[in-house]
Amino acid sequence: MTTPVTVTVTGAAGMIGYSLLFRTGAGQLLGASTPVRLRLLEIPQAVRVAEGVAMELDDCAFPLLMDVEVTDDPRVAFDGANVALLVGARPRGKGMERADLLGANGAIFGPQGRAINDAAADDVRVLVVGNPANSNALIAASNAPDVPKERFSAMTRLDHNRAMSQLARHAGVHVSQVRRMSIWGNHSATQYPDVFHTVVGGRPGVELAEDTAWLAGEFIPTVAQRGAAIIEARGSSSQASAADAIIDHVRDWYLGTPEGDWTSAGVWSTGHYGVPDGLMCSFPVTSDGKGWSVVDGLEIAPFSRERIDASIAELVEEREAVRALGLV
């Protein structure tokens, strides 16, 4: 058996954790030949609940799950971590925008970034899920100066999956027939789900994009507002679908994206497509199993450029806000 991979999950007593941890124990995160060790980080008031989750994980007798440890100390949680999944944060309620969480949740990610910097394994990769995910990832990465910035990412895979489903439904094909979806910008209402480069049932998505009334009036708002629609319907934010997107993101990062396709992730910008350096911005990306690469050379239509720029402007504003709070 190969050496176990240490996976640290924050917010382990929360709703996403409750779905994610069991799928991780079952081997869906890193594949069926990789044993995992789980470290669960919670705030002191929620440690007892996390211990109950750990008891249930034991009761599953997962063959690939070697060990589960619960702690409220970030240094202990991230000690030797190879994979860090930063889920723990307060979710938004009805009527809130994700940016409303900036101050409350931002304060969590500085100390966690420092603990990752000091304690995690040399090969650590970090996925930030807690909202506002892009700016929280920026805070964590900025507080971990010894960890290369490309090892941090922010989750826009749920938006990506949502966009694939909406597009498939509109085109009358199964979702497995959609390739090359792209989410640009922020995991927020300004995100830009881009169909121009998709291939839908063998047909170029640019043909579907000609219907700008559908594109601007239906597709983009449905994807961008899906999180709010779920909060409205369920009374709480998306949980199982978010856990599913975490599994997809990490699996593609470690095992590679399928040949001829790509996915979307928030990554540290180094100037691709005119995005300012040092923003945690969503791009179309591939992985060879070692790390993300931004898909280069896509032609950006004026319709898309305007929307990508609006989302970048929001990311810049959020960066200014976290700077003003002293978080980066």
Ligand X SMILES: NC(=O)c1ccc[n+]([C@@H]2O[C@H](COP(=O)([O-])OP(=O)(O)OC[C@H]3O[C@@H](n4cnc5c(N)ncnc54)[C@H](O)[C@@H]3O)[C@@H](O)[C@H]2O)c1
Residues forming contacts to ligand X in the complex (CB under 6 A) are: 10-11, 13-17, 41-43, 46, 87-92, 108, 129-131, 133, 155, 158, 187, 237-239, 242
Q: How far is the CB of 8 from ligand X (least distance, A)?
A: 10
Q: Per the annotation, does 313 bind a ligand?
A: no
Residue 233 identity (one-letter amino acid): A
Could you say which of ligand X, ligand LMR, none residue 239 binds, taking C-beta under 5 to 8 angstroms by partner kind?
A: ligand X
Distance CA 24, CA 31 (A): 9
Number of Cβ within 10 Å of residue 148's Cβ equals 12
Q: Per the annotation, does 92 bind a ligand?
A: yes
Task: Using alpha carbons, select from 223, 251, 256, 253 the residue that is nearest to residue 238.
Answer: 223
Helix H, strand E, coil C: the string for 155-218 is: CCHHHHHHHHHHHHHHHCCCHHHEECCEEEECCCCCCEEECCCCEECCEEHHHHHCCHHHHHHH
Could you say which of ligand LMR, ligand X, none residue 13 binds, taking C-beta under 5 to 8 angstroms by partner kind?
A: ligand X
Q: How far is the CB of 10 from ligand X (least distance, A)?
A: 4
Q: How far is the CB of 230 from ligand LMR (least distance, A)?
A: 6
Q: Per the annotation, does 39 bind a ligand?
A: no
Closer CB to ligand X, 64 or 267, in the complex: 267
Q: How far is the CB of 241 from ligand LMR (least distance, A)?
A: 7
Scored b (16 or more CB within 10 A) or e, 62-92 reads bebbeebebbeebeebbbebbbbbbbbbebb
Could you say which of ligand X, ligand LMR, none residue 107 binds, taking C-beta under 5 to 8 angstroms by partner kind?
A: none
Residue nearest to ligand LMR (CB): 227
Closer CB to ligand X, 11 or 205, in the complex: 11
Could you say which of ligand X, ligand LMR, none residue 6 binds, taking C-beta under 5 to 8 angstroms by partner kind?
A: none
Distance CA 269, CA 228 (A): 27
Task: Using alpha carbons, select from 100, 183, 102 the residue that is nearest to residue 138.
Answer: 102
Selecting among 187, 197, 249, 272, the annotated active-site residue is 187
Residue reference for tokens 């789980």: 38
For the chain, the 3-state helix, strand and coil shares in percent, each to the nearest 5, are 45, 20, 35
Residues forming the site for ligand LMR (CB under 6 A): 91-92, 98, 131, 158, 227, 230, 237-238
Q: How far is the CB of 133 from ligand LMR (least distance, A)?
A: 7
Closer CB to ligand X, 186 or 198, in the complex: 186
Strands (E), the chain: 5-10, 36-41, 65-71, 83-86, 125-128, 152-154, 178-179, 182-184, 192-194, 199-200, 203-204, 263-268, 280-287, 292-294
Contact between 30 and 41 (Cβ < 8 Å): no
Could you say which of ligand X, ligand LMR, none residue 129 binds, taking C-beta under 5 to 8 angstroms by partner kind?
A: ligand X
The reply to whether 249 belongs to the active site is: no
Q: Per the annotation, does 11 bind a ligand?
A: yes
Q: Per the annotation, does 162 bind a ligand?
A: yes
Could you say which of ligand X, ligand LMR, none residue 230 binds, taking C-beta under 5 to 8 angstroms by partner kind?
A: ligand LMR
Q: Which residues are annotated as a binding site for NAD(+)?
A: 11-17, 105, 112, 129-131
Catalytic positions: 187
Q: Which residues are annotated as a binding site?
A: 11-17, 92, 98, 105, 112, 129-131, 162
Q: Which residues are annotated as a binding site for substrate?
A: 92, 98, 131, 162
